[in-house]
Chain A
Amino acid sequence: MRSRSIPLREVYVWEFPVRLYHWINALCITSLCITGYIIGDPPALMKGTEAYFNYWFGTVRFVHFVSAFLFFFNFVFRTYWGFVGNEFSRWYNYIPLKPSQWKEIIDVIKVDVLQVTHKRIGSIGHNALASFVYFITFLIFVFQCLTGFGMYSAMSNAFLPNLFAWIVPVLGGDILVRQIHHILMWGFILFTIVHVYLVFYHDYIERRGVTSSMIGGWKFIEEDIVDSLDENTNDKTKK
């Protein structure tokens, strides 16, 4: 039996609201991409029948809109959690304002993307590159909500969609709004492919339990990393 004995510490990284957000988000994005693609290019399912038999396309659109509302409020909640959650979920992780974040971005590109150097990336939550990519996806979320609700606002008197109605005149009309909405859908699809692969990759290489951490919230982190971070925080509190 092969086994390895190294000092590990279990760290509670993803709080329950973060995990809930993640899975609702995953569900919404899956649903939105599938229904969105069908809306863009509907298959000929019921050919030869009359309209009064069917409402399947209307249902697909309904599912798309419901998912969109869920997606939006879920995202709003996550934004809020970025200000009240634990250190791994805070907003400053996602926007690389500090030089140390940029340094780690370059490290991650060297170590994990190009694989030209071998060293350990010591961040416990997301690494700096992953965080930055999530920040870009958040921007895509915002644009997708803007364009989506912008199109939706024309057939709704509800308060929320009409908050986004201004995007249509800004872009000069629905044609461009729909085009952008459609292109960004591919952003979600490509992100999902890469995201799932990289989760497997990190679990395979680092064995910190990153995949299951989004289920249980805990990661297995090498003890020296946790200790050094704890010392740093203790130092700061002493000062």
Chain B
Amino acid sequence: MKEKQPTFYEEVINEGLSRKDFLKFCTTMAAFLGLETSGVGQIVHALQTKPRLPVIWFHFQECTCCSESFIRASHPIVASIVLDKISLDYQETLMAASGFQAESAYKTVMEKYPGEYIVMVEGSIPTENEAYCCIGGRSALQILEEAAKNAKAVVAWGNCASSGCVQAAKPNPTGAKPVHKVISGKPIINVQGCPPIADVMAGVVVHLLTFDRIPQLDELGRPKAFYSRRVHDTCYRRANFDAGLFVESFDDEGAKRGYCLYKMGCKGPVTYNSCGIIKWNDGLSYPIQSGHPCIGCSEAGFWDNGPFYQHLPNTGAFGIETTADKIGLGLGVATAVGIAGHAIVTNIRKHRNISNSPTVDSETLKES
């Protein structure tokens, strides 16, 4: 570890990229972050003057799809952020070191930059039995608690770290919990998605670097710049929704015409993400554009609100495949039968009332 950390800009130029590339990157990021034009200058200034951001990146119970997404970011500079620009001192998947060296790498960061380093977490933390996830002989919870103690902020990458994802789905055998459920007293950014969009991840990093504070978050801890709008409200197929044109099955005429996937269980109307705007893989496409309904991967508990290809989630009551509509209809029929029965009984039991001889009983009058 060097004494004087090179700035982000120096790193980029040393790598042979031009200043033009650098400025293009800054402009793109400013646009993603929803900054006004003057924000571009702030980003340029920050990346030219500020030393690299010391980062410890942990992998707990997860599939590494967040890292995979990040290194496939559209802009080359975004990709290189991961590899060295943010000073990735410890990242289980990408670091060269292993064993004792690796362990000492993140301990050095904690000692050297207390209150300055950022902890980035991929994956959920088991609490049922901490032994379900151990690295270097210590449990995920121990590692995270120790690292988060002196961290400036904690970034929870993806649905696992933000809300538990598939590990926390019923019956959650490991007692998997997201970061915000086990760590308190630290700013936590939930960068939702399974995985999050690479450019969103880069945007969060650039924001931390530029403004030295966490981005504005919504009530669920997600950066507002990327998670304030529903996939549905930014979907290019929205016109078909408003026109009432829906795909009824994946091989019908509507699917060919690019109708709305609402009835195929698209979770776009209940999912907050920027898939419809930033898209994936260099803006190439996103699930709905590719003909598949949104599965709602940036929402908490999306595994338990399935199936993916059904509009209404199953209720979990009265058998697995029961929606609210089936229960409602069943209750409606039961009510109608009950009413019919009650009407018949009424005509028998109350025939005296009905046939003109009221059962007046003055003693039973209300006393109030």
A residues lining the B interface (CB < 8 Å): 2, 4, 6, 40-42, 44-58, 60-61, 100, 104, 113, 115, 118-120, 122-123, 154-155, 165-166, 168-169, 172-179, 182-183, 185-186, 189-190, 193-194, 197, 201, 204-206, 222, 224-225, 228-229, 232
Contact = CB atoms under 8 A, between A and B. Distances in A.
B1 interface: no
A110 to B, nearest CB: 11
B365 A122 contact: yes
Contacts of A166: 219
B292 to A, nearest CB: 18
Contact of A119 (B331, B336, B364): B364
Describe A's contact surface by its main secondary structure.
helix
A87 to B, nearest CB: 11
Contact of A186 (B331, B343, B352): B331
A42 B331 contact: no
Nearest to B270: A174
B3 interface: no
Contact of A46 (B243, B267, B271, B300): B243
Given A154-B230, A232-B368, A190 B332 contact: yes
A70 to B, nearest CB: 22
A175 B313 contact: yes
A206 B350 CA distance: 10
A236 to B, nearest CB: 11
A57 B358 CA distance: 53
B312 A57 contact: no
B335 A193 contact: yes
B243 A53 contact: yes
Contacts of B244: 42, 45-46, 54, 56-58, 60
B190 to A, nearest CB: 11
Nearest to A116: B349
B311 interface: yes
B254 A120 contact: no
Contacts of B324: 179, 182-183, 186
A223 B78 CA distance: 85
Interface in B324-368: 324-325, 327-328, 331-332, 335-336, 339, 342-343, 345-346, 349-350, 352-354, 356, 358-362, 364-368
A113 B315 CA distance: 30
A57 B253 contact: no
Given A122-B366, A186-B324, 4 more contacts: A118-B359, A168-B219, A183-B327, A189-B328
A61 B173 CA distance: 41
Contact of A51 (B239, B301, B360, B368): B239
B325 A41 contact: yes
A131 B263 CA distance: 39
Nearest to A168: B219
A169 B220 contact: yes
A123 B229 CA distance: 52
Contacts of B254: 44, 47
A174 B165 CA distance: 16
B361 A119 contact: yes
Contacts of A189: 328, 332
14 contacts: A6-B360, A47-B245, A54-B243, A55-B242, A100-B368, A104-B366, A115-B346, A120-B360, A179-B313, A183-B328, A186-B332, A193-B332, A205-B354, A224-B362
B269 interface: yes
A179 B349 contact: no
A206 B335 CA distance: 23
Given A42-B246, A182-B312, A175 B270 contact: yes
B245 A51 contact: yes
Contact of A115 (B327, B328, B349, B366): B349
Contact of B271 (A42, A50, A174, A225): A174
